[in-house]
Amino acid sequence: MSILNQASDGLFNVLIVLVRALVRFGPKSREDLILACGGAADAFDTSQLTRTLNRWTELGLFGEEDGSVIIAEPYRSALGKNADEAEARLPKVARTVALQPANNARFWESEGAKSADLSRGVAWMLAQDVYTLDVNSDRLAELEGRQLVDSGAQKIAQNNTRWNGLKTWMLYLGFARDGMQWVVDPTQALREALPEIFGSNRELSAPAFVERAAGVLPVLDGGAYRVQVEAALKESAWPRLRTGLVSSSLSRAIQRLDREGLITLSSRSDTEGVVSLTGSNARIWQDVSHVALVQTGKVR
C-alpha cells in the first residue's frame, strides 16, 4: 500500500467524491456508494473509486457498519453534515488520518507501510532549504541519493510517479502551494493546526510553540517523523541546523501567519528561551521569544 502511487492507490479528488457522497446520502453498501459517485455512467472506470476507498479504509477514514460503508469517528463528526463543509474540512481530516502513528509504524518499509511514504516524503521536503530546492522530480531523486546514508535500504520516493504523487498530496494537505511555481510551504497545515497547538492558551513561548506544532504535525521541526528522516541523512550533504534555529519551511509558515494577523511574534528580554526563524542558507531572519494567537475566527 502506498498513498503516493496514485494510479494504484487513489487520488485526492476521488477521495473528495467519496466523502461528499457519504456525507450527503449517509452509509451505503460499497456497490451503492460506487453508483452514487457516478459508477453507473457509460464507459465510467470505477477502479479509482474502488482503490481510493480501499486505501482510506485501511488507513481508518472509512469503516463498515451493518454491511454499509461509513465515515469512521471521530472523522465523521469533524467533517460535519454538509457536503460543502465536509469538502473544505477534508484536507485537515485526511492529514490527521495519514499522520496517525498506526499508519506510520513501518516507517522505512515498502510493503504494508500504509501512509509512511507520504510522511517520509513530506518530512524530507520540509527539512530542505526551501529557497534553493529544485523540485524537478529528477533533481529531487538525485538529492535524495546524495543525502541518504543508506540509499539502498532507505527511500524517500521510489520513482517519478511517487515524486509527482508526493507533490500533489503536499499541495492538497497544506504542505505546499502552487502559483507561478510549486513551492514547499506548510502554512495552510500550520494554520489549521493552531487550535490544537494553543489549546486553552492564547500565548506560548516560542520553543513551546515549535514543540507543540511538532506534536500535532510530526513532519515539522522536532516531530517524530522528521527526526527519523533527519537521522537518515548525511551531514556532509544535509547541513544540520544548530539548536534553536527553525527550518526555512517552518519559518516561512510562521512569518506568513504573523503577516496574516492570525498570530503575533514578539521578542522579550526576560524570556524562557527563544527560537530563530531562518531563510536560505540558515540566515537568521528574526529571534522570537513568544507566539500569541490573535484571531481565532479565521482558523478552521
Residue 21 pLDDT class (50, 70, 90 cuts): very high
Domains 6-90 and 187-298 share a fold: yes
Overall pTM > 0.85: yes
In angstroms, the CA 163 to CA 183 distance is 14
State mean pLDDT over 48-59. Answer: 93
* The pLDDT of residue 1 is above 60: no
What does the pLDDT look like over 203-256, one tens digit per residue?
999 999 999 999 999 999 999 999 999 999 999 999 999 999 999 999 999 999
The average pLDDT across 185-193 equals 98
**Which fold is adopted by the domain 187-298?**
Arc Repressor Mutant, subunit A (1.10.10)
Q: Residue 232 to residues 101, 176, 210: CA-CA distances in angstroms? A: 19, 23, 22
- In this predicted structure, the answer to whether residue 82 has a pLDDT above a threshold of 80 is yes
CATH domain 6-90 topology = Arc Repressor Mutant, subunit A (1.10.10)
Of the pLDDT bands very low, low, confident and very high (cuts 50, 70, 90), residue 298 is very low
d(CA 65, CA 284): 53
- Going from N- to C-terminal start, the domains of the chain cover 6-90, 101-184, 187-298
Higher model confidence: residue 127 or residue 46?
Answer: 127
User: Confidence band (pLDDT; 50, 70, 90) for 257?
Assistant: very high
